């Protein structure tokens, strides 16, 4: 083979190599575009309580924070971001599944970039609820306040990228709403004030009315794809068992009375969400009910997925510890992935992952329909 022939051969190989490399990059880019086009989601925007607060409470005056160890033990670089878990939340798994971003940051974080804003943030605040009294108890952001921050968010986007692009993001975003447990566990069942004003059925109706008002306000601000989490089996939360069992140390079984409240509320919520979806279907509504009750019950009562401990939190004794009671001085379990609960209220990352997988079919149907 002559020198000229070798040079031509090497040049041809180089050209083929570059074409192959180029095709790989094009393939990846096309795949990303297909993911975004397939799911039709521009951003993930989150509202609610500690189940979806990635750290907003870090920036307000409240004792309800999770920005210190051992929170974040299994997060990237073991950073305690303010998430009330050892790692990711369900909203983070959803954002990853949609190919939007790795995790959803707190809106109040002053270090947010324009990319953070355009791909979605969380307005949620640990300790919040639909009852106006609930966030007052712990001095956190109410749902109406979160909505006001959403309006501010839209104004910030408009100033940065213009009205047209902002409108597209708002229209094509996925909205997640997760709240209500604090209204019952922290407020109605623990404190006396609302029990003096409302019977349990009337309080359920009161909370439902407040939630539907919030949903309508969110709709009025441009939300079209909305996923709404129901209540968990409240009688299975470690803190509820501890506070309301006759012998909480010996008997760690779920208290069905509290879980029955969840079932009643969830049934009403599904009916109302179906009605809202039907009434707004011609306007592009995609409103879905996210069932978290069933996967949690499957784990706690059905003993699915092989968890070692489902009655106690990983942090401390697992009986009462949460927020400042779960702190750097607390002993923690050796493997949080074997525990359903991280502290006495909040699920572990592994449990959030299971909840996400359970709601994924509903999510995909809602997005791709």
Residue at token pair 């709240």: 179
CB atoms under 10 Å from CB of 188, counted, come to: 25
Phi, psi of 46, rounded to the nearest 5 degrees: -125, 140
Euclidean distance between the first and final Cα of the chain, in Å?
A: 61
Q: Is the dihedral of CA 71, 77, 79, 83 positive or negative?
A: negative
Residue at token pair 């921050």: 149
Query: Distance (Å, rounded) from C-alpha 311 to C-alpha 301?
Result: 10
CB atoms under 10 Å from CB of 316, counted, come to: 21
Residue at token pair 């509290």: 258
Query: Distance (Å, rounded) from C-alpha 65 to C-alpha 55?
Result: 8
Residues serving a catalytic function are: 50, 343, 346
Query: Distance (Å, rounded) from C-alpha 240 to C-alpha 223?
Result: 34
Query: Distance (Å, rounded) from C-alpha 294 to C-alpha 289?
Result: 12
Phi, psi of 298, rounded to the nearest 5 degrees: -60, -40
DSSP states along 318-339: SSS--GGGSSTTS-B-S-GGGE
Is there a contact between 155 and 169 (Cβ–Cβ < 8 Å)? no
Q: Give the total residue count for the chain.
A: 369
Please state, in angstroms and as integers, the Cα–Cα distance from residue 160 to each residue in 121, 155, 194, following that order: 16, 9, 44
Query: Distance (Å, rounded) from C-alpha 56 to C-alpha 50?
Result: 10
Query: Distance (Å, rounded) from C-alpha 65 to C-alpha 71?
Result: 10
């Amino acid at each position: 083979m002559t020198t000229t022939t070798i040079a031509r051969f090497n040049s041809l190989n180089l050209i083929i190599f570059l074409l192959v490399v180029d095709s790989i990059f094009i393939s990846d880019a096309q795949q990303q575009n297909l993911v975004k086009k397939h799911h039709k989601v521009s951003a993930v925007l989150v509202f609610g309580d500690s189940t979806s607060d990635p750290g907003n409470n870090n920036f307000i005056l409240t004792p309800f924070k999770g920005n210190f160890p051992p929170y974040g033990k299994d997060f990237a670089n073991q950073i305690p971001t303010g998430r009330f878990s050892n790692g990711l939340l369900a909203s983070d798994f959803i954002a990853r599944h949609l190919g939007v971003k790795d995790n959803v940051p707190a809106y109040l974080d002053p270090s947010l970039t324009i990319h953070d804003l355009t791909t979605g943030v969380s307005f949620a605040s640990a300790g919040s609820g639909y009852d106006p009294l609930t966030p007052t108890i712990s001095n956190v952001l109410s749902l109406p306040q979160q909505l006001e921050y959403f309006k501010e968010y839209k104004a910030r986007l408009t100033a940065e990228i213009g009205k047209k692009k902002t409108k597209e993001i708002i229209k094509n975003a996925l909205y997640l709403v997760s709240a209500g447990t604090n209204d019952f566990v922290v407020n109605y069942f623990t404190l006396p004030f609302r029990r003096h004003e409302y019977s349990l059925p009337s309080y359920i109706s009161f909370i439902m009315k407040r939630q539907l008002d919030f949903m309508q306000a969110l709709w009025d601000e441009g939300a079209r794809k909305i996923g709404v989490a129901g209540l968990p089996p409240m009688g299975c939360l470690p803190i509820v068992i501890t506070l309301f069992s006759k012998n909480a140390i010996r008997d760690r079984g779920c208290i069905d009375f509290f879980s029955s409240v969840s079932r009643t509320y969830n049934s009403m919520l599904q009916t109302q969400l179906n009605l809202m979806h039907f009434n707004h279907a011609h306007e592009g509504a995609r409103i879905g009910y996210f069932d978290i009750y069933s996967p949690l019950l499957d784990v706690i009562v059905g003993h699915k997925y092989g968890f070692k401990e489902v009655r106690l939190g990983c942090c401390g004794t697992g009986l009462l510890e949460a927020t400042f009671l779960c702190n750097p001085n607390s002993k923690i379990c050796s493997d949080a992935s074997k525990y359903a609960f991280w502290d006495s209220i909040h699920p572990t990352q592994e449990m959030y992952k299971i909840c996400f997988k359970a709601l994924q079919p509903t999510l995909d149907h809602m997005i791709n329909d």
